[in-house]
Amino acid sequence: MMSIKNYLNLQFHHEDLRGTLTFVEVGAGGKVPPHAHSEGYVVIPLSSASGERSTHESGKIIKRESLVLYPLVPYYVEPTQKNQTISITNTGGVSAFQKFVPNPPIKGPQPELPTEQMTIISQGGNPHTFTVEMAVTFVQKAIGLMFRPTLAADRGMLFVWSTPRRVAMYMRNTLVPLDVLFIDPGFSISKIHANATPGDTTPILSNGDVIYTLELPGGATAKMGIRVGDTIQ
């Protein structure tokens, strides 16, 4: 095992994105028309933008979801259900992104990722140690903890952003409540979104630039007294 901080110094990694690859650009106020897709796909934004994802059925919009896109912060879009289509309206900025359909398709949880030990030091000096899976590649971060039926009390997942950036997290296809912690370049917790609701598509945004996002079992931070300002090592 190595220190989680060493993951910030990785100079190179290669991700073979096999499957259908599409580049999309949508101007401010523009719209991707309603369409169906039989396979799920991963979106990798190339620029910052905001938008709305609408689900259509029988010519009517039955669901609206907010989207926040930050450069190189990927997310997963599941296949459309029978007799449904989706459309995307760009509500701010020029949205440029690439999307790809993984082959084989994503239909369940990803295999367990490599793990490391991570410790949160409370402001009172109490250490809290977790075994965290290290999500480093685009696909690993897009899938995250989706489809996992359980998450042990001492486990979590650490999303490595390498360089400081704003990020948006989603609970799409997530089956268990999570505490979502954002960690700034000084290795301090800058924001905690506690007990994120399974399946909620509302974007969970960082407050400013972060280098990691940590997902823990829902309620862990309250139970252990973990607060904003605590540090990690």
Domain assignment of residue 166, given as a range = 4-8+108-232
Tens-digit pLDDT profile for residues 136-162: 999 999 999 999 999 999 999 999 998
Cα 130 to Cα 146, 185, 196, distances in angstroms: 19, 20, 19
Q: Could you tell me if residue 83 is inside a domain?
A: yes
User: Which residues, 6+ apart, have CB-to-CB distance to 182 below 8 Å?
Assistant: 167, 189, 190, 191, 192, 206, 207, 210, 212, 213, 214
pLDDT digits (tens, 9 = 90+) for 54-83: 999 998 999 999 999 999 999 999 999 999
For the cut 90, the answer to whether the pLDDT of residue 94 exceeds it is: no
In a domain, 46, yes or no: yes
Q: Report residue 149: phi and psi, to 5°.
A: -75, -20
Q: 129 and 56, same structural domain?
A: no
Distance CA 124, CA 177 (A): 27
- 8 Å CB contact between 88 and 32: yes
The answer to whether position 68 is within a domain reads yes
Let me know whether 98 and 121 are in one domain. no
50: confidence class by pLDDT, cuts 50, 70, 90: very high
State whether 95 and 146 are in the same domain: no
DSSP string, 55-115: EEETTEEEEEEEEEE-TT--EEEPPPPTTEEEEEEEEES-EEEEEEEESS---SPPPPPPE
Of 17-26, 52-61, 106-115, 121-130, the range with the lowest mean pLDDT is 17-26
Whether 10 has a pLDDT exceeding 80, the answer reads no
Residues pairing with 137 in the sheet: none
Of 102, 135, 163, which marks where a domain is finished?
102
In a domain, residue 14? The reply is no
What is residue 1's predicted lDDT score, i.e. its pLDDT? Answer: 59
Which residue, of 102, 133, 155, is where some domain finishes? 102
- Average pLDDT of the residues in 22-37: 92
Beta strand pairing call for 75-77 and 127-135: unpaired
Cα angle value 200/24/28 (rounded, 5°)? 75
Look at the chain and report how many structural domains it folds into: 2
What is d(CA 45, CA 12) in angstroms, rounded to the nearest whole number?
A: 20
If asked whether residues 54 and 163 sit together in one domain, one would say no
* pLDDT over 70 percentage in the chain: 97
CATH code assigned at 87:
2.60.120.10
Q: What is the pLDDT of residues 180-222, one digit of tens each?
A: 999 999 999 999 999 999 999 999 999 999 999 999 999 999 9
Cα(208)–Cα(166) distance, integer angstroms: 6
Reading phi first (left if > 0) and then psi (alpha if -120 to 50, else beta), residue 199 is in left
2 pLDDT more than 70: no
Same domain, 82 and 34: yes
pLDDT of residue 18: 67
pLDDT at residue 13 tops 80: no
Confirm whether 91 is domain-assigned: yes
Query: In the predicted model, what is the mean pLDDT of residues 99-117?
Result: 91
Q: Given this model, what pLDDT does residue 11 score?
A: 67
205, two tokens:
């945004």
Of 102, 135, 154, at which residue does a domain stop? 102
CATH code: domain of residue 200: 2.60.120.1140
